[in-house]
Amino acid sequence: MKTNVKAKAHLNENNNTASGTKAAPPIGVIFRILKLLFKEYKVQMIFVTACIVVVSLASTIAGLFMEQYILLINDGLQLGLDAVYIRLITLVTTMLCIYATGWLASFIYTRVMAVVTQSFLNSMRKKMFLKMQDFPIRYFDTNAHGDIMSHYTNDIDTVRELVSVTLPHLIQAALIVCSLIFNMLYLSAWMALVVALASVAMVMAAKGIGGKSAGNFIRMQRSIAKEEGFVEEMMNGQKVVKVFCYEEKSVEKFDKINDELCHDATNANRFANILMPIMGNIGNILYVLVAFVGGIIVVSEGIPNVSLGGIEYMSTIQKIAVVVPFLNISKQFTNNVSQVSQQINSVVMAMAGAKRVFELLDTEPEKDEGYVVLVNATRENGEIVETAERTGLWAWKHQHGDGSITYTELRGEVTIEHMDFGYVPEKQVLSDITLYAKPGQKVAFVGATGAGKTTITNLINRFYDIDDGKIRYDGININKIKKADLRRSLGVVLQDTNLFTGTVMDNIRYGKLDATDEECIAAAKLANADDFITRLPEGYNTMLTANGTNLSQGQRQLLSIARAAVADPPVMILDEATSSIDTRTEALVQKGMDGLMKGRTVFVIAHRLSTVKNSDVIMVLENGRIIERGTHDKLIEEKGKYYQLYTGKFELE
């Protein structure tokens, strides 16, 4: 539609107010995902959490057996192998059982999470697409289509990585760290203090580097969306690109956008990639310090061991039985802290993608406060009565505040009174528009591009809401009519034809989903499309793909007209409906459209003034105002702007 150009001029890609989004805090994104997971897959998530706890405990508890193992070996050296044989077998068997249980729990929960993840993504995509159906036209006019597509591809893929891998590993690592802290305090508070000091350094490094990485990952996601939007735009406009030899310029633009993506991705991963080595080196230094402190504890007889068990003076072998497992536990601790820090990069990237997904889900839907609905009706004793059966008679069902209900016959009378409108507050597009279209009248809008012709029809459809004035439909303020019912009563043929993947019959039936094959064929005949359809390889069952590129522009427009005809609405809006059709085809279409328009209120927008000569009234627009109105003959007599346009003394464009 032409309004797209106007609205997109005001697009600010870094400002979400155009789409009515509410940005969620980054950490809130994680909690929101967890909340959704536990809400929709409560049993599975509880089971997965239990398995993660088992895996975490299995990874840490087995380390404590090292203390018992050293003491057992010492007893064996002193008492002989036979004396400790049964205890050794029991200890080794217990450790094997613990590790086997941990492995089994890990195997099970990863399989369960694979199913949960795909089900969750399936649910998210459904929610996104369902929510998108309620978005106002303004959203699609002010957001690049490739950017919107990126929500379903790149952004949702980051959520997959977060749910299936990052979150389980992060939770597991966090539980292991907590369990290891308990184990270290259980063994020795002195060495645990050393670990605590090193942990502060790790946290500071993770916070500093991770914080810098987060902003760059968010910018990287936006750059990916921008690149996808550009590629999608170039694919749709390939014919224009080749006709105007725009290949080199498009490559230059792509290279610039791609370089921006490379820059943002480099910055994001530059900080992310140095975090792991830093954590690893801090862990190595910690290992040396723990070994040093542990050595002092072993060789110093006057230093008691302090632990959760209390203060205790130990023998040398008992101290060794504490220091050796503590060294292993400290190494395991730093490895898991490093793993947590490594997951931060994945979390940040996932949060950037998930944040964009939730921005789409949180976008304000199209508001509809209407309560007047369209119903099937019949006449009984001269009164309009609602009926469940289709009778060909439609009525507006108006429920009043006092509980009473009135029915108004759908006739197609449209009245606009002193209407003002602007796509943005600072620029008014239409000013003081007033017109009256009685049932069965044909009203034409003419004027230069940008005069506001298409905008008027978009306001009748309530694709946008007016700033001031009134639009009445059969005497009812259209703000009181439910938008779906309002649009169901209007047939629209746009200048830009959109056909969908499916058969020719399916595309015609799009205008009325419950239409029979016979009704679709009758509509095609009315639009003079039946002739070319029957000559297609499979007639009405011919498959159309890629917006019907296997058809000519004129044939595609004829199908669009047939689609509107099968809806059989009382009001028709024809926005340059014959602009893409040659003169010979136009004569055939015009004949069919005359039959289509008979008995209906019709709004026609046309650059070919020959198509509006027989209109009941012609409105001439200029700069958003109606400057002339009247019949063709009357306007010719006045020799004003319409006369200049019609006689060619003034170029329409």
pTM: predicted TM-score of the whole model, two decimal places: 0.70
Question: In this structure, which amino acid lies at residue 647?
Answer: T
456 or 147: whose pLDDT is higher? 456
Task: List, in order, residues 6 or more apart from 74 with CB less than 8 Å away.
Answer: 317, 321
Q: Could you report the per-residue pLDDT of 550-591, keeping only the tens digit for each?
A: 788 778 888 888 888 888 888 888 887 666 666 666 666 666
- Helices 189-236 + 167-187 axis angle, to 10: 170
Helix (H) or strand (E) holding 525: helix 517-526
Q: What confidence category does residue 88 fall into, taking pLDDT thresholds of 50, 70 and 90?
A: confident
The reply to whether 41 and 188 lie within a common domain is yes
What per-residue confidence (pLDDT) applies to 478? 92
* 1 pLDDT more than 60: no
Residues 413-429, mean pLDDT to the nearest whole number: 89
Residues of the chain above pLDDT 90, percent: 16
Q: Is residue 493 part of a domain?
A: yes
Q: How many angstroms separate the CA atoms of 207 and 215, rounded? A: 13
Q: How many angstroms separate the CA atoms of 12 and 14, rounded? A: 6
The reply to whether 419 and 342 lie within a common domain is no
What per-residue confidence (pLDDT) applies to 335? 77
Task: List, in order, residues 6 or more apart from 137 with CB less than 8 Å away.
Answer: 3, 458, 463, 464
Question: In this structure, which amino acid lies at residue 532?
Answer: F
What per-residue confidence (pLDDT) applies to 578? 66
Q: Is residue 285 part of a domain?
A: yes
Residues 442-466, mean pLDDT to the nearest whole number: 88
The reply to whether 389 and 459 lie within a common domain is no
The reply to whether 56 and 87 lie within a common domain is yes
For residue 424, the 8-state DSSP code is B
What per-residue confidence (pLDDT) applies to 8? 40
What per-residue confidence (pLDDT) applies to 450? 80
Q: How many angstroms separate the CA atoms of 499 and 513, rounded? A: 15
What per-residue confidence (pLDDT) applies to 16? 41
**Rounded to 5°, angle at Cα 250 from 246 and 252:** 120
Residues 247-263, mean pLDDT to the nearest whole number: 85
Residues 465-472, mean pLDDT to the nearest whole number: 92
Q: Could you report the per-residue pLDDT of 63-73, keeping only the tens digit for each?
A: 667 667 676 77
Q: What confidence category does residue 626 fall into, taking pLDDT thresholds of 50, 70 and 90?
A: very high
Highest mean pLDDT among 22-36, 132-146, 304-318: 132-146
Residue pair 161/346 in contact (Cβ under 8 Å)? The answer is: yes
Q: Is residue 47 part of a domain?
A: yes
Among 105-109, 350-354, 409-413, which is the least confidently predicted range?
350-354
- What number of other Cβ atoms are within 10 A of residue 211's Cβ? 12
Residue pair 433/419 in contact (Cβ under 8 Å)? The answer is: yes
Q: What is the mean pLDDT of the chain?
A: 80
Q: Is residue 468 part of a domain?
A: yes
Tokens of 634: 């009357």
Tokens of 547: 């917006």
Tokens of 449: 């591009």
Tokens 């019709």 found at: 602
Question: In this structure, which amino acid lies at residue 224?
Answer: I
What per-residue confidence (pLDDT) applies to 567? 84
Torsion of CA 228, 231, 236, 242, to 10 degrees: 170
Q: Could you report the per-residue pLDDT of 6-29, keeping only the tens digit for each?
A: 444 333 433 343 334 444 445 678
Question: Within its chain, how far is the Cα of 370 from the centroid?
Answer: 26
Task: List, in order, residues 6 or more apart from 212 with CB less than 8 Å away.
Answer: 271
Q: Is residue 366 part of a domain?
A: no
* 172 pLDDT more than 50: yes
316 or 530: whose pLDDT is higher? 530
Highest mean pLDDT among 267-281, 489-503, 597-611: 489-503
Pairing type for strands 502-503 and 490-493 reads unpaired
Q: What confidence category does residue 305 fall into, taking pLDDT thresholds of 50, 70 and 90?
A: low
Domain CATH for 437: 3.40.50.300
Q: Is residue 86 part of a domain?
A: yes
Q: What sign for the dihedral angle of Cα 596, 600, 605, 610?
A: positive
Question: Within its chain, how far is the Cα of 177 from the centroid?
Answer: 36
* 47 pLDDT more than 90: yes
The reply to whether 461 and 503 lie within a common domain is yes
Residues 633-651, mean pLDDT to the nearest whole number: 80
What per-residue confidence (pLDDT) applies to 432? 92
The reply to whether 418 and 404 lie within a common domain is no
The reply to whether 309 and 400 lie within a common domain is no
Q: Is residue 17 part of a domain?
A: no
Q: Could you report the per-residue pLDDT of 405-417, keeping only the tens digit for each?
A: 999 988 889 999 9
Residues 51-57, mean pLDDT to the nearest whole number: 89
Q: What confidence category does residue 3 fall into, taking pLDDT thresholds of 50, 70 and 90?
A: very low
* 473 pLDDT more than 90: yes
Q: How many angstroms separate the CA atoms of 258 and 256, rounded? A: 5
Residue pair 414/601 in contact (Cβ under 8 Å)? The answer is: yes
Among 73-77, 370-374, 634-638, which is the least confidently predicted range?
73-77
The reply to whether 398 and 428 lie within a common domain is no
Q: Is residue 428 part of a domain?
A: yes
Q: How many angstroms separate the CA atoms of 637 and 482, rounded? A: 43
Helix (H) or strand (E) holding 18: none
Q: In what order do the strands lie in the sheet with 393-399?
A: 383-386, 373-380, 393-399, 405-409
Q: How many domains in the chain?
A: 3
The reply to whether 400 and 418 lie within a common domain is no
369 or 233: whose pLDDT is higher? 369
The reply to whether 316 and 229 lie within a common domain is yes
CA proximity to 571, closest of 481, 478, 460: 460
Domain that holds residue 637: 414-647
User: Helix or strand or coil: residue 541?
Assistant: helix
The reply to whether 284 and 344 lie within a common domain is yes
Q: What confidence category does residue 79 fall into, taking pLDDT thresholds of 50, 70 and 90?
A: low
Q: How many angstroms separate the CA atoms of 152 and 149, rounded? A: 5
Domain CATH for 68: 1.20.1560.10
The reply to whether 392 and 535 lie within a common domain is no
Tokens of 405: 């209900």
Q: What confidence category does residue 210 fall into, taking pLDDT thresholds of 50, 70 and 90?
A: low
